[in-house]
Structure 1
């Protein structure tokens, strides 16, 4: 009887340890050394491209639905910025809603 109680207590205590997910150290290293700098460069290049094509985007925004600036900013600036600055270290893919958790 005492063995069964001791075994069940041991298993209950070990359950949270087994449930913890850890990202491999290699993923952290690749993220910090490669992905973040590439994301920063993509954000800077995208910002420059967005500024360069803004006059043309103004003409495209004349016709409805008037969302050319929002689409351009999302694609060229916001998506690379979120990838670089708003995601946890070691996480490379967003969830279905587009957010990094």
Structure 2
């Protein structure tokens, strides 16, 4: 009985995760949609997949910045390294509105 429950839960998770990209793809293909209103599918993909990946990118960028900071200081481009490795991923992860992927600049 336990094996049957485990199999059903596994298949539900697999099929649910396989359907996530389709909702976001359909929302991004429609160019006539209003920019202020995002679909729930895009927001769901953003909160479940993109934000955690942005957090990982920010943390990895911070580690890479710490390792490369002596070399950046010798080259005189510490601020540029900080912006590219830490500030941009952090801004993408924490300051961007939920579901907005367009570059506002």
Question: What band does the TM-score fall into relative to the shorter chain?
Answer: 0.5 to 0.7
Q: 1:27 to 1:51 in 2, by over 3 A?
A: same
Gaps of 5+ in 2: 1-33
Task: Select which of 30, 41, 50 maps to 1:26.
Answer: 41
Larger radius of gyration: 1
Deviation at 1:58, TM superposition (A): 1.3
1:39 aligns with 2:48: no
Hey, which of these two has a bigger chunk of helix by percent? 2
Gaps of 5+ in 1: 1-18, 62-67
Corresponding residue for 1:76? 85
Give the Cα separation in 2 of the matches to 1:20 and 1:47: 32
Give the Cα separation in 1 of the matches to 2:83 and 2:72: 13
Task: Select which of 51, 62, 71 maps to 2:66.
Answer: 51
RMSD, aligned CA: 1.6
Deviation at 1:94, TM superposition (A): 1.7
Which portions of structure 1, spanning 4 or more consecutive aligned residues, are displaced by more than 3 angstroms?
none
Give the Cα separation in 2 of the matches to 1:20 and 1:93: 9
